[in-house]
Structure 1
Amino acid sequence: MSKIPIPFSEPPWLMGLPSAYYNESHRKWQKTCRSLVDELMADAQDWEREGDVPEDLYSKFAAANMLLPNLSAPLPIKWLKKLNITHLPGDLPVEQFDYLHTLIYADEMARSGSLGPSGAITTGIAFGLPPILKFGSQELQERFVPDIITGRKRSCIAITEPGYGSDVSNITTTAKRSEDGKFFIVNGTKKWITNGLWSDYASMAVRTGGPGPSGLSMLVVPLLNTPGVRMRRIKVGGQTSAGTTFIELDDVKVPISNLIGKEGMGMIYVMQNFNHERLSISIGVNRLSRVALSSAFEYVMKREAFGKTLMEQPVVRHRLAKCGAELEAHWAWIEQFTYMMTKLSEEEANRELGGLTALAKAQAGKVLEVCASTAVLLFGGNGYTKSGQGEIAERIYREVPGARIPGGSEDVMLDLAIRQLVKNFQRKTKELETIQERPKGSSKL
């Protein structure tokens, strides 16, 4: 294998080109992540073929302190110090971890060419723990954070239902107070819950009030070995090893004290949590597109047909060029986007970047679709085969729906992005008009 990287196989900054975004801490972190991920996920392709990951994989990631980078930056420093966690692998102080470190981690985790094995490790803690950290009371955090953050227990995020996916405001799973006032009694179903099979708890969106978004709340709902909870695996086209789960809840007793934040605020908590999820998806899906495109690039340089390599065919170069432009343009946007996250407060980022996060996630799915389909075509019959040299293209092509639907389906994301941009424009216009209407002049008599 050549030591010179195949074109499009790495982001420009890892191809030796200059970048204004990354400092020495980021460069050292990238090397650390690649080394550890290559070690811990060495058999990722085999696991995806088999549809499951080893039972001890999560504990291995926990032991290596490689679960923490799944959380949004900045990390929960107070909790980490309380648990005597001061550094991440590579001797990175937890205080220095920023969103570019998050980007690097998510990018490296997707290099296996499948979202399944990485999803089995990342999805639950990445999106299930943050609502507790950001909105939960100190008492709630004391009960759940230590075990989850160290990997002794597992959590997941449970929003989607059979009849309500991206339409979060209308979910129907109910949580009604018991007669003695000590419990919420939860009834309903949750579907397509990644990591649910293995999770001790779910940060779950439930309906505690009337219809619409104001009736939603979030609870920490116990799952494994809990009376009234039944879980079964769902077989999906991609991410076969990520533990996609159907959850049935029948009169499940959840202590009132498991309420996350305030009752009726669930919709706001869910929406803010989506921002980290959608950015993480965008990063991983871009890398998946990169694996597909660079694999096809390598293949057409050596595959011969009609007396010459496929790379010598103009139509092949044209296909690669169009995909490369989409891929690198999206990556440049993601880098710029992530850099802004390192400079804005969480409140500013949620307000200014929420709609753009949805748009970046939608664009990621489009980029993957064009790169994966092109890879399949360029591999020819090999790209339609679940083994051999074209297997990577066939597998990544099956990941396309999983990139375009979960985390907010594509059409909903496109609409949300524009609505959010309009809302911000109208707010800023009103603020400017208010400033201009203020009385002017001197205070002197």
Structure 2
Amino acid sequence: MASQHATAQPFGEGIPYGDPYWYQGMPSPYYKETHFRFRALVRGFVEKEIMPFAEEWGKTRYPPELHEKAYQAGIAGAIFPAEHGGTPPEDFDAFHELILWDELARCGESGVLGQLSINSMAIPPIMHHGSKYLKDKVLRDVIIGKKFCALAISEPTAGSDVANIQCSAKREGDFYIVSGQKKWITGGLMADFFTVACRTGGPGMGGISLLLLEKDMPGISVRKMETQASGAHHTSFVTLDDVKVPAENLIGEENAGFLYIVTNFNHERFVIATGASRYARMCLEESIRHAKTRRTFGKRLVEHQIIRHKIAEMARQVETTHDMLERVAFAFSNKVKDREMGGMAALLKVQASMTFEFCAREASQIFGGSSIVKEGKGRIVERLYREVRATAIPGGSEEILRDLAVRQAKL
């Protein structure tokens, strides 16, 4: 194993802890030349096509054309099979995906990351369980960036409690009649398709199915929801009023949708955790930059012992979180079954969101007043601080995920 993996040359700006250890030239058992090339590809794209504009997009909207541009660059299609239009790198594995979400998160706007990642959550049920008809209708156009697909699971009365969703789909001949509401739907305003969880059977998890809805179907209305964090998400409230959906739009088997959803959640939590880990690292990186130049009481901040201790604790938590990310990526790469990853993915997401929250607070303390205004040297930290709750809650709150990890362990 070790002989197949080369040691990377130093990459990036070289700020201590500003990038993962292997960017600093340290050896790793996980990465080889194909990962080094992909890392350079994604970083170059993010720095040229996203970072100069991300802050403005956060105030307005995600530009749909960005996805197609990212696909043409070999980025947006990297995690999908070639048979559906994907452009996976040589010897693709979960570490390529870890690099993708980690580097994309460097833009510091969850709305941009969310829009680029939502397809990776909305179309896998179609890819793994959908008919050839549905695959042909959706996959290629979404993967190449011509169209978009949103995942519509949560409702006003059922967020993490998926088994109790109320949106109904009643079979009438060759159609389902779908009625209900969906809330917090990422990308809803720009979606051409919706992967919708709805109740086709009795109460509980055994009565849930997935249906593909198309934006032009009568009875679908979508409005934007203003959020605490980035405005680029197009976070939406979706109302479904007697939407007539062809039965052929059923994804997989009727009343088997809950299993498809919870399997998909493990991957979603990996994606969210990767972004949160990079956000935490950005807080640390910005703190180090600031501490080396800002002077108080006659000396640089970094010369104050308390500031050094803050930086050290941030670094400890960031590096620990990245090690955990790699452990989960290694499991995915070795084909560990999704149903066996629930507890590990849940604890990873908790670790990442708590690390991000800690680092955002400590960075704010180090920057002081500069961290509470949306301009100047502290604007990145200010922006990231607003992303904390948008990381800790979506994909399962910390409380629910802790409980999930213990329940799966069957103590």
Check whether TM > 0.5.
Answer: yes
Unaligned runs of 5+ in 2: 1-11
- TM-superposition CA deviations, 1:229-283 (whole Å, max 9, x none): 1111111111321111110110111110000000010110000011111101111
Q: Which residue of 1 aligns with 2:81?
A: 76
The SS at the match of 1:151 is: coil
Q: Which residue of 1 aligns with 2:232?
A: 241
**In the alignment, is the contact (CA less than 8 A) between 1:119 and 1:239 conserved in 2?**
no
- TM-superposition CA deviations, 1:344-388 (whole Å, max 9, x none): 2xxx33133221101101111100000001111110000111111
Structure 1 distance, partners of 2:13, 2:194, is 45
Q: Does 1:11 align with 2:6?
A: no
2:221 to 230, 234, 240: 230
1:50 to 46, 59, 62: 59
Q: Does 1:300 align with 2:300?
A: no
Task: Return closer, same or farther for 1:278/1:39 CA change in 2, 3 Å cut-off.
Answer: same
Tell me the CA shift for residue 177 of structure 1: 1.3
The SS at the match of 1:54 is: coil
**In the alignment, is the contact (CA less than 8 A) between 1:132 and 1:141 conserved in 2?**
yes
1:76 alignment partner AA: P
Q: Which residue of 2 aligns with 1:132?
A: 126
Q: Which residue of 2 aligns with 1:113?
A: 108
Question: Under a length normalisation based on structure 1, what TM-score does the superposition of the two structures give?
Answer: 0.87
The SS at the match of 2:106 is: coil
Structure 2 distance, partners of 1:22, 1:361, is 23
Question: Under a length normalisation based on structure 2, what TM-score does the superposition of the two structures give?
Answer: 0.94
Tell me the CA shift for residue 226 of structure 1: 2.8
Structure 2 distance, partners of 1:9, 1:372, is 15
Tell me the CA shift for residue 419 of structure 1: 0.8
Structure 1 distance, partners of 2:72, 2:61, is 20
Q: Does 1:409 align with 2:397?
A: yes
Q: Which residue of 2 aligns with 1:323?
A: 314
Q: Which residue of 2 aligns with 1:253?
A: 244
Percentage of pairs with the same residue: 38
2:257 to 266, 271, 283: 266
More off after superposition, 36-45 vs 240-249: 36-45
2:368 to 380, 388, 392: 380
Q: Which residue of 2 aligns with 1:310?
A: 301
Tell me the CA shift for residue 20 of structure 1: 1.1
Unaligned runs of 5+ in 1: 426-445
2:192 to 177, 190, 200: 200
Tell me the CA shift for residue 321 of structure 1: 1.2
Larger Cα-atom Rg = 1
Q: Which residue of 2 aligns with 1:440?
A: none
**Mapping 1:161-200, distance limit 5 Å:** 161-178=155-172, 181-200=173-192
Structure 2 distance, partners of 1:163, 1:232, is 18
Tell me the CA shift for residue 37 of structure 1: 2.0
What is the total number of aligned residue pairs between the two structures?
400
Q: Which residue of 2 aligns with 1:392?
A: 380
Structure 1 distance, partners of 2:66, 2:302, is 40
1:368 alignment partner AA: F
Tell me the CA shift for residue 336 of structure 1: 1.9
**Mapping 1:138-157, distance limit 5 Å:** 138-157=132-151
Q: Does 1:29 align with 2:24?
A: no
Tell me the CA shift for residue 61 of structure 1: 2.1
**In the alignment, is the contact (CA less than 8 A) between 2:188 and 2:235 conserved in 1?**
yes
1:106 alignment partner AA: W
Structure 2 distance, partners of 1:106, 1:324, is 20
Tell me the CA shift for residue 155 of structure 1: 0.4
Q: Does 1:217 align with 2:205?
A: no
Tell me the CA shift for residue 49 of structure 1: 4.6
**In the alignment, is the contact (CA less than 8 A) between 1:131 and 1:273 conserved in 2?**
yes
**In the alignment, is the contact (CA less than 8 A) between 1:47 and 1:53 conserved in 2?**
no
2:138 alignment partner AA: F
Structure 2 distance, partners of 1:211, 1:260, is 19
2:95 alignment partner AA: L
1:411 alignment partner AA: E
The SS at the match of 2:341 is: helix
User: What is the RMSD of the two structures over their aligned residues, measured on CA atoms?
Assistant: 1.6
Structure 1 distance, partners of 2:13, 2:84, is 43
